[in-house]
Amino acid sequence: MRLTIERMGYGADGIAHTDEGKTVFVAGGVVGDVVDAELTSDGPSFSRARATNIIEPSRMRVTPPCPFVGVCGGCPWGALGRETQLHAKEENLRSALQRIGHFTPEEINDLVRPIRYTKDAWGYRNKVELGVHSENGRLRLGMHGIDPDQIIKVDRCPLFESTASKAIKAVTGALSYLGNSRDLNLERVGIRASRRTKALEVALWTPTGGFPRAHVARVLDDAVKPTSVVRVLTKGDRAARRVEKNELLAGQGSWTERIGEETMRISAPSFFQVNTAAAELLIELVVDALKPGPDDVALDLYCGAGTFTLPLARRCSWVAAVESYGPAVRDLRRNIERAGLDNVDAIGGDAVREFPGDDADVLVVDPPRAGLAAEAIELIAGTSARDVAYVSCDPATLARDLARFREDGTFKATVITPVDLFPQTYHCETVVHLSRA
């Protein structure tokens, strides 16, 4: 069939319609393309197709700096111009608010601010993750493909921190050399780099068991001169694998990044935003929304290693910070101590079960992609907080949760600001300021 891509959805595919009006999600096309496509699945309400030939390329198409765009999973929108990407992310947020949150177009126009972004569309990632595959006794490392079983060998990634552009080739070469003579039993490899602190960490994820620690550390040091080499020991089946231990092989044992006014140490298993400069926009929006004062008590739920906790503690009298993931809790406590702060209660546990109480002036919540549980919304609504900052990484669950807050009648959204933390992808962060209804 011949299709015209009308817009980009929340995903790698473009969206088109057949002559009969049926929605088709098209892989391999960008907005404005006219393509020949073949069906890959045909459901009752929508179909999926793959572009086999671009008849008329879109004027929004660009030539990306990477030959693996469309094959590698890291930059599904890499062939789309930046302005078009930004517009599509705004429109996807607006669509979710209308379809799922049941906001009217007038309400959306009043609430949603223009998308915020930083200048770096490439070279912004402070972290890459390499997949590992053993073939005929030889170890292969590379980027994850769109096909999850595919490992793509690369010497560099244009998304990765430009000051460490040679690190990928050096690390893959060193580990491939080691893996051809020893069974490293690698599951994956993480590389983190900071242009601000010059820190470079290599994290080797393996099951528990024997490992040539000293030899691996020595070869990696010769290859890439990292500031830290760690081994993350895991246990359990793939679907329920858990971290048992973070083992120091060489150097500092964690990665250091400077964000805003703070210098943070992050262990390899802990989450940290991959775009440091854009994450500073999140902090700015959260602080602007809450306007914390020196007498305020703050709650920080799903706080991770302290990205929002530390700036809140600088401005408030007390912060109760809750995080469920063990490695992040340890990082949080270490970052609080390093910052010289004595007004933070770092609480390890689930945000609902360990909810700090209803005494709060301001509250920030940064949940995982699944959004907030209904119980969490009830607990937040039951606090004395005057303002809430909701940081979301998924427009659909955000829209659902904002509708729940509105139904509860306690808090209402007053400003919604998308932030482009992930150029060349469809992902987008959003900061919402909720105030008392």
What positions carry a catalytic annotation? 393
To the question of whether residue 98 is assigned a binding role by annotation, the answer is no
d(CA 45, CA 128): 37
d(CA 197, CA 327): 22
User: If 0-12 CB within 10 Å is exposed, 13-18 middle and 19+ buried, where does residue 175 land?
Assistant: buried
Count of other CB atoms within 10 angstroms of residue 165: 15
Q: How many angstroms separate the first and last alpha carbons of the chain?
A: 51
Helices (H), 100-206: 105-111, 167-179
To the question of whether residue 302 is assigned a binding role by annotation, the answer is yes
Taking each helix axis from N to C end, the angle separating 82-99 and 395-408, rounded to the nearest 10 degrees, works out to: 40
To the question of whether residue 149 is assigned a binding role by annotation, the answer is no
Count of other CB atoms within 10 angstroms of residue 345: 12
CA atoms within 13 A on the CB side of 182: 13
Count of other CB atoms within 10 angstroms of residue 387: 20
Residue type for position 135:
E
To the question of whether residue 273 is assigned a binding role by annotation, the answer is yes
Binding residues for S-adenosyl-L-methionine: 273, 302, 323, 366
